[in-house]
Every structure is written in C-alpha cells, then in structure tokens.
Amino acid sequence: MKHFITLLIIAICTMTLRGQGAGASSTQEVKVISFGANPIDLAAQKYMRKDVHGNACALIKINALTPQLSCSGSVIGSVEMRNPGEFWLYVPADAKMVKIFSSSFLPKLYEYPEALQGGVTYNLVLEVPQTGTPQPTMQGYLVAKVSPANATLSIGRNVYPATNGYVKVLLRNGTYSYRVDAPGYVPQEGQAVISGETVSQTITLQSAKSRLSVKSATPGTQIFVNGEQKGTGDAVIDVLPGLFEVEGRLAGRRSYAVTVELGSGELREVVIPELSHLYGSLNIDYEPIGSAITIDGTPAGTTPRMVNNLPVGQHTVVISADGFTPATLSATVADSQTASLTGSLSAAASEESDKVTYYSFYKNGHWGIKDNNGREIVAPKYDNTEFTFSEGLAWVKTKGKYGYVDTTGREVITPRFQKASNFSEGLAIVLIDNHLAFIDKTGSEVLPLKYSTARNFSDGLAPVEQNGKWGFIDRTGTEVVPLKYDDANSFCEGLAQVCLGGKWGFIDRTGTEVVPLKYDGSKSFAEGLACVTHNGKIGYVDTKGNELIPLKYKDASDFQEGMAWVYRKGKFGFIDRTGKEVVPPKYDDATLFVEGLASVKKNDKWGFIDKTGRVVIPIQYDQVWWFENGKAKVRHFGKTYYINRDGKQVK
C-alpha cells in the first residue's frame, strides 16, 4: 500500500511539472514598437486627471491587441479600455517607469525614454505575441478635409483638432463612427472603414447661423437688436439661433419693438412700421403782447400763444418786437406734456444808454484797456491783453505768463499760465505745466484734461481732441460724445458743428446727428438757422436739418436781428428768416443789422438802410462803423465824427 501511494504522488508531481512547463512555453514577452507624445491629441487636457499634489497627469494611450491589461507602479487609478485594443493610463508627470500585466504576455517593466509632461497625451504601441498562427497588426490612416478649417473630429472620446483644414488619425483596422463639430455650424456624423489603406473624407459643415433682415418705414430709424444698435434705416445681421428683441427708435417718435425667434439656418424679415410722432404743447407768455414768435425758424404767431401738437424734443424759440432786444430761448417739449416760456423782452438800448464797451491801447511799450468813454480801466503794463471782457474777466500777459483782470482793472488771477482763453459758463481753458485744464474764476484747477486740444464749454459740453479725433465731454470730464470726428466746434443754440471725412453737419447734446454730415462747410446756428455750403452754393438749414432757404448764394452771413446779408452775382442784399429777399442784391458791400440799421456800400460810399430796405442815412460817407448806443462813427471829407439814427452829427 505504501508503495502505491508513493507512485501516485510521483505521478501527480510529474503532471504538475508538465503543466507548468506547457504554460511557460505558451506565454511570451511583449515588445514595445513605439512611444511618443501626440501634440494634436488633446484628450489629456479635455479629460484631465490630477495627482495627489493637484498637478495635471500625463495620459498614456496603450495600443495592444489583448482582451485585458493592467499596470502597477506610479499610476493614477486603474487602466481603462476605451476602445478595443486601446487602454488609457494616467501617470504623474514625474513617473519614470511602469509595469504592464496581461494574460497574453509576460509582465513588462518599461522605462519611459523621455520626461513626461502633465496635460500631454502619449501613445505606447505594443506588439503582443499571438497564439497559433501570428496575425499582423493592420492599421491605416483616416485623413479628413474639413470645412470650416477650425473644425474638430471626434472618435469615441478622442477629439482631434484640424490643422490647416485637415485631420489625420492613425487607426487599427475596423469600422469607426466619427463626429465633426465647429462653433456656429451644424455637427455632422459618419463612419469610416479602416482596412490597412488611407481613407480620405471631405466633410463640409452647414452653417447653423440664422439671418435677420430688418427694414424700417421711417427714414433715419435706428435699429436695435437685443439692445445693441445694428444700423439705421435697414440692417441685415447673421446670428446664432435664439430669441431676439428688435426695436426701432427715432427721436421725437414712439419706439416700436417686436420679439422674434430664429431657428437654425432660418431667414426672417422684420418690418418696422411708420413710427408715430410724439407731441406735446408749448405755452409762450412773453411781454409785450403781440411779440412775434418763431419756432425752429418758422413763424408761429404772436404772444401770448399756446402751441399744440409740437413734436417732442428741443426747440429754438425766438421772440422779437420793435424797440426790444430779441430773445433766443430753448424749450424742451415732452410727450403729452406742456412746457412754458414766460418773461419779458428787454427794451433796446437808446442813445442815452450807458452801455460800456472796451478797447485795448498801447503806451510806452505796453498794453492796457480803456472803456468807450476813454477811461483807463487796466493800466498799460502788460505784454498783451484781451480787450473783450468775457463774464467779467479778460486775460492779460506779462513775462510770458497769463492771468486775468476784472472790469475794475484788479488782477484777480495772478499770471502763471502758459496759455489762457476767455471764460465761458464759468470756466476757462489754460495750459499749465504742459497740460490743459479748466479753471474757475478763482483760478483753481477744477478739471484737468488728458487731451491735446480743447474748446470752451457751451450748453454744458466742451469739444476735446486727441490723436486727430474730436468728441465732447461734460463738466465732470466724462466723454458723452465719443472721439470720432475730424473736427468739432462748441454748441450753439443746442447744436454743434462736426466734420467727418470732409463733410459737415450738426449733432445734438446726445451725439445724434440731427443735420446730416453732407455739406462742404457750415457756420454755427444763429436765431434758429445755420449757413451751409454744398458745391459752391450757400443756403440755410433749420435745427431739424430742413433746407429752409435754398442753396443758391455765393456767400451769406449769420442771421442777426432777423436779417442776414447774401451775395449773388457780385452784389449784396438782405433776406429775412423766411428766405424772402427784402433787399435785392444791388449793393457793393454790406454789414449786419445792429440796432435796426445796416451799413451798405455803393459807388465807394457808405450809408445806412432799415429792415425794409429804405435808405435812412444817405450813402455819402467814406467810412462808417456800426451803431452803438444810438450813434455811429463816420468819416466824411477827411473828418471823423458821430451821427445819430437821423444822420445828424452828435458828440
């Protein structure tokens, strides 16, 4: 019995040894075919993992024809099989080697030939020994030409970005589903069969954008889409699918808004209907009763007057009466509201008026200022001076520095500026320490400027320039009109001249172009009208941009006291605010009306006419000056003296 047990043990051991030997001979060593970074494969970034220190790991894609695979060493998590024959392994960037296990081959210890980088994808290709008849590893390229050129191609969870409009991927034989994406385009899916040869595909994506076409029935309508201005009058924009609010806006009219929803690739046309006017009322109650009213250059009756159905917005109102100084006023009318202008006109200056004017004089190498009575106001001690007082102050210059004096001659701001200007709305521009600034009447710097050039404040805004472009700032220094114009002047009667591309027009205080920028030249508004020039002809526009007086004159002046001189066919005449030629062009020269009279020249002699064109002071003088306080200086037969409105000599 013992002998039988011994033989049985020997037989079992022999069978065990034979089994071990057979297993060893059937399992072989795996070979590394290649290892390297794949810079166009962004999987390591898209599906990022981090190590215990929070640093990005490297991703190693192991390509091996084996049903299962595991790794040990410096690894993060377990190996994942993403596709047949493709295993993903995350390792820290400082990993040096990895040990690979599989039932298909003997364990493999592999040292990385290069330092790994976090966030980078690497490819490790293994040649796995095959049992039975060896089968070659078959691979082929998928080359896709994609449009647009920034599209990406995805296979499974792998994303391949295009380079110069092409995507190139090396794949094992088999059938692969892919997807091509690009921002703003409809994704496209397809299949590619890899069988050892290069497979070429051309994939053109269709735009996912929609088109929105907006047209307006009211000229000048500003078109807004989701609160952003897209055009004026008409607009065509390409947008991604979604919900959009389309709005039409125009000053003085009721806005119109509509909401539209666009699907992918949809074309939608939106028509903004005629925008209805917004109206208000204006109560004008000015003394004396019967004073003439003009609104925006159009006669509107006499005082007192309730003007109904007046378009909303800012209007220029001129009130005038014989014997009184005309008043130019600004009224802002709101929707369904009543604005009011009340007050009295001031009596026009008479011959006995004590109105004071000033002039500069030169004595002993220096300049001073006297009034019209010859009284010395500012002693002659300055290198230069501005004889016109503005808001009670005039600039003076001494030893290269500018300061200011008042009408008593007192030096109220010590000369210390490099440059200086007149005061306007309580502020003056000065150059100090090589930078511009606005000062108040105490000489304090209240608004330093970052601009190269600036002009005086008017209507609360001042033109400023930087790098050749002009805009407007308010009294806080805020840019309320962007710096986009080639030139700009101060506001006058609520509008400012601006120039762009050699063409002139006018904007209001919001920056809205009220008078189109289409004229070759222009002057500031005066009494509700402004001179404009086009193709060598001059006419007048009102504050709404209407060409109220046709462009037919060679030259023309601003309106003053309701009249302007015009020049045509070599002669001067006068027109009123309706454009009527009250005085036909027949004089050799002319000046503006002052105190109801204008000087005219004929046959080298000067005289005066009234607003009907009647010659009230004979045309006989060699030289004349304008009327001031009821009298004018004239020169006749070599003598200079003063005359009154009747042409009689006075002191």
CATH of the domain at 307: 2.60.40.10
What sign does the CA torsion over 577, 579, 583, 588 have? positive
Q: What is this structure's pTM?
A: 0.48
| Helix intervals (H) in 182-243 | none
Is the pLDDT confidence value at 135 over 70?
A: no
pLDDT in the model for residue 7: 37
**84 and 173 share one domain:** no
Residue 12 forms part of a structural domain? no
Phi, psi values for residue 44, rounded to 5°: -65, -30
Return the structure tokens found at 318: 């001129």
Q: What per-residue confidence (pLDDT) applies to 375?
A: 87
Q: Which of 252, 272, 292 is where one domain is finished?
A: 272
Instruction: List all residues 6 or more positions away from 328 whose beta carbon is below 8 Å from its beta carbon.
Output: 316, 317, 318, 493, 527, 528
Question: How many folded domains does the chain comprise?
Answer: 6
Contacts of 497 (CB under 8 A, 6+ apart): 487, 488, 489, 504, 505, 506, 522, 523, 524
Residues 98 and 157 in one domain: no
pLDDT at 27: 63
The answer as to whether 399 is a domain residue is no
% of the chain with per-residue pLDDT over 90: 57
The answer to whether residue 356 is domain-embedded is: no
Do 185 and 259 fall into the same domain? no
| 283 and 268 in a common domain | no
How much is the mean pLDDT over the chain?
88
Would you mind telling me the total number of residues written for the chain in this entry?
651
Residue 158 sits in the same domain as residue 180: yes
User: Residues 328, 243: one domain?
Assistant: no
| 268 lies in the same domain as 284 | no
Tell me if 364 is assigned to some domain: no
Mean pLDDT of 141-168: 92
Rounded mean pLDDT of 273-294?
Answer: 89
Instruction: List, for residues 473-522, the tens digit of each pLDDT value.
Output: 998 899 999 999 999 999 998 899 999 999 999 999 899 999 999 999 99
Instruction: Give the 3-state DSSP-derived string for 441-485, with helices as H, strands as E and coil as C.
Output: CCCCEEEECCCCEECCCECCEEEEEECCEEEEECCCCCEEEEEEE
Least confident of 30-34, 226-230, 373-377: 373-377
Structural domain ending residue among the three candidates 227, 246, 272: 272
**Residue 254 scores a pLDDT above 50:** yes
DSSP reduced 3-state for 3: helix
What is the CATH number for 256? 2.60.40.1120
In this structure, how many other beta carbons lie within 10 angstroms of the beta carbon of residue 342?
11
The reply to whether 562 falls in a domain is no
Pairing of strands 139-147, 199-204: parallel
On whether both 144 and 115 belong to a single domain, the answer is no
Domain containing residue 549? 454-553
Q: Tell whether 144 and 67 lie within a shared domain.
A: no
Instruction: Please check whether residues 76 and 90 belong to one and the same domain.
Output: yes
Q: What is the pLDDT of residue 402?
A: 96
296 alpha-carbon distance from chain centroid: 30
Q: In the prediction, which pLDDT does 150 show? A: 92
Q: What is the CATH number of the domain that holds 95?
A: 2.60.40
Which residues is 229 bridged to in the sheet? 224
d(CA 220, CA 469): 25
Strand order in the sheet with 199-204: 166-172, 139-147, 199-204
Give 646: exposed, middle or buried? Use CB within 10 Å, 0-12, 13-18, 19+.
Answer: exposed
Residues 314, 285 share a domain: yes
pLDDT digits over 120-131, tens only?
999 999 988 866
- Boundary residue ending a domain (493, 524, 553): 553
Q: Which residues of 58-86 are buried (b: 16+ CB within 10 A; e: fewer)?
A: bbbbbbbebeebebeeebbeebeeebebb
Residue 6 has pLDDT above 60, yes or no: no
Residue 458 lies in a domain: yes
∠ CA 540-542-548, nearest 5°, is: 55
Give domain status of residue 371, yes or no.
Answer: no
19 — pLDDT class (breaks 50, 70, 90): very low
Q: What is the pLDDT of residue 449?
A: 92
Whether residues 316 and 251 share a domain: the answer is no
Q: For 77-132, how does the pLDDT look when each residue is reduced to its tens digit (9 = 90+)?
A: 888 887 777 899 999 999 999 999 988 888 999 999 999 999 999 999 998 886 65
246 in Cβ contact with 255 (< 8 Å): no
Residue 8 has pLDDT above 80, yes or no: no
Q: Which helix (H) or strand (E) holds 1?
A: none
C-alpha torsion 322→326→330→336, nearest 10: -10
